[in-house]
Chain A
Amino acid sequence: MTFSPMPGAAPVLRQVGAQASMEARLMLRNGEQLLLALVIPVIVLIGGVAGADRVGLEFSRPTVDIFTPGVLALAVMSTAFTSLAIATGFERRYGVIKRLGTSPLSRGSLLAGKAGALLAVEVVQLVVLGAVGAALGWDPDPNLLAALAAVLLGTVAFASLGLLLAGSLRAEATLAAANLVYLLLLAGGAVVLPASAYGGFGDVARWLPSGALGEALRDALERADFSPRDLAVLAAWAVVGSVLTSRTFKWE
């Protein structure tokens, strides 16, 4: 073989595609990430549907119709926020971002690759959780455009917040903080349970990205409704998160 120079960058789209498929594969192969992405949401969905009537939660519709969109929102949150934050934190720690920084991959392409990986994982989550929901009798009344808008805005909002965490803390601190925030939002963030189930706190929870995403997806999938207020809240979080991240993110 010859090493005679023939340098050049691959076309940008091919670079982004390579980065996205690499990151998606790593996420789906990693045990803890898989736990967050699929196992916990499936358990929450099955457990929630089976246990809701026993703990006295009453809804106007079958519980599976309430829980499935909520669990889809949880899945988006776990991937775009927790998984992304942890993965990026360790990429900084292990010099991956530094290494890629000397390759032809630009930072913009790296971010685009990350976005592509998140969407790919979310598609897998949607298929699995949708199938589990269907098996439990989920009967949605969907507005697909509204659902898509909620997922995309939610992904951007949570991803920017995840990167905010990963770009300013050490890897271990990111791991701890990302899991803690995830648990707090799962319990009190109106993501799986509707904001109305939280009484007075529900109004506050709807201003959180978790509550806004949960409400937007429930509206979109339960009654084919478009929820401008929740989408606006998600957009606002996306803007705030992106601005803060771009100001504070340290690549190394």
Chain B
Amino acid sequence: MRYGDKVAVDDLSLTVDAHTITAVLGPNGAGKTTTLETCEGYRRPQSGSVRVLGLDPVRDRRKLLPRIGVMLQDGGAWSGVRAMEMLRHIARLHAHPLDVEMLAERVGLGDCGRTPYRRLSGGQQQRLGLAMALVGRPELVFVDEPTAGMDPKARRTTWELLEELRADGVTVVLTTHYMDEAERLADRLHIIDRGRLVASGSPLELTRGGGVSTIRLVVTEPFPPEASRSLKAALGPDTEVTQLDPVSLLVTGPADASTLARVSGWCDEHGVVPESLTLGQRNLEDVFLELTGRELGP
């Protein structure tokens, strides 16, 4: 997929299983929206093929559109239209729409139904966008950055809603650059960077493996001086020890039960009392950093 000379998405192969949540994760400008818009039939790929519900999104657009719901990243409503009026309008274009009042309640539009679109907050506009994507009872929804601009409470509500969709048999494809969102929601994850697929799998598959883990040690009283150096000496050269604050240390490297035992032995020897000692996994942020050498953040 090219815009002029710039290749936005290249050699990207991914599939989405029915009745699951698939997340397309990547930093801004990675090609997430372009990928979605190609699936929605807005853009015709210069090469390769796209099939959505077995249909060609460009050629069979009229057959496909009633079956999918789309939440755009922003905009999509007249500036003077009232929130409920807009939702009702989209509902009327469908054969068996959801009850708009109940849907508005469910996405948390309750008290701004009569507010003109231009006066809705960013989060309210997002919620209306989500409601518009769902009102036609689609089989498949594409949601582009669904929780960008939402407060934490609204984010959780949105996540619960997306999980409910999956439980009710709707297939969800979402783009996000939030790690926690992808980790919590996705059955399957595709990480893309600069228009290319860098990894696919479930969040567990992606964070497991590689042999790298972390141990976090928190103690009751501040560590003695030079604690991190002496702990590193005790653990061997493959390990990195970083002091995070006066009472906690982070150990990264091939961490397993024996490493854990050696850390607790070191504590005993130096008279420090562990408050907690936890073996952690790499998170998606670490995975992304390893795969691309870049931070995922927005």
Instruction: Establish whether residues A105 and B93, one from each chain, have CB atoms under 8 Å apart when the complex forms.
Output: yes
**Cβ contact of B95, chosen from A10, A18, A90, cutoff 8 A:** A10
**Is residue A96 within 8 Å, beta carbon to beta carbon, of the partner chain?**
yes
**Is residue A250 within 8 Å, beta carbon to beta carbon, of the partner chain?**
no
B20-28, B165-173, B182-190, B274-282: which one contacts chain A? Answer: B165-173
A30 CA to B118 CA, complexed, in Å: 13
Digitize B224-254: 1 where CB-to-A-CB distance is under 8 Å, 0 elsewhere: 0000000000000000000000000000000
A-B pairs with beta carbons under 8 Å apart, 26 shown: A2-B168, A3-B134, A3-B168, A3-B170, A4-B137, A4-B168, A5-B169, A6-B95, A7-B94, A7-B96, A7-B138, A8-B96, A9-B65, A10-B94, A18-B92, A19-B89, A90-B78, A94-B75, A94-B78, A95-B74, A96-B75, A96-B76, A103-B90, A104-B93, A104-B136, A252-B42
**Is residue A14 within 8 Å, beta carbon to beta carbon, of the partner chain?**
yes
**Is residue A239 within 8 Å, beta carbon to beta carbon, of the partner chain?**
no
Known A-B contacts A3-B98, A29-B80; the reply to A103 vs B170 at CB < 8 A is no
Known A-B contacts A26-B81, A96-B78, A102-B70; the reply to A7 vs B139 at CB < 8 A is yes
Chain A, interface residues (CB within 8 Å), range: 20 to 34
* A interface residues with partner B (beta carbon < 8 Å): 1-11, 14-15, 18-19, 22, 26, 29-30, 90-91, 94-96, 98-99, 101-106, 252
- B269 CB, min distance to chain A CBs, angstroms: 58
Instruction: Establish whether residues A98 and B78, one from each chain, have CB atoms under 8 Å apart when the complex forms.
Output: no
Instruction: Establish whether residues A99 and B42, one from each chain, have CB atoms under 8 Å apart when the complex forms.
Output: no
Instruction: Establish whether residues B93 and A99, one from each chain, have CB atoms under 8 Å apart when the complex forms.
Output: no
**Is residue B51 within 8 Å, beta carbon to beta carbon, of the partner chain?**
no
Instruction: Establish whether residues B92 and A3, one from each chain, have CB atoms under 8 Å apart when the complex forms.
Output: no
Digitize B112-137: 1 where CB-to-A-CB distance is under 8 Å, 0 elsewhere: 00000000000000000000101011
Residues of A within 8 A of B66 (CB): 7-9, 104
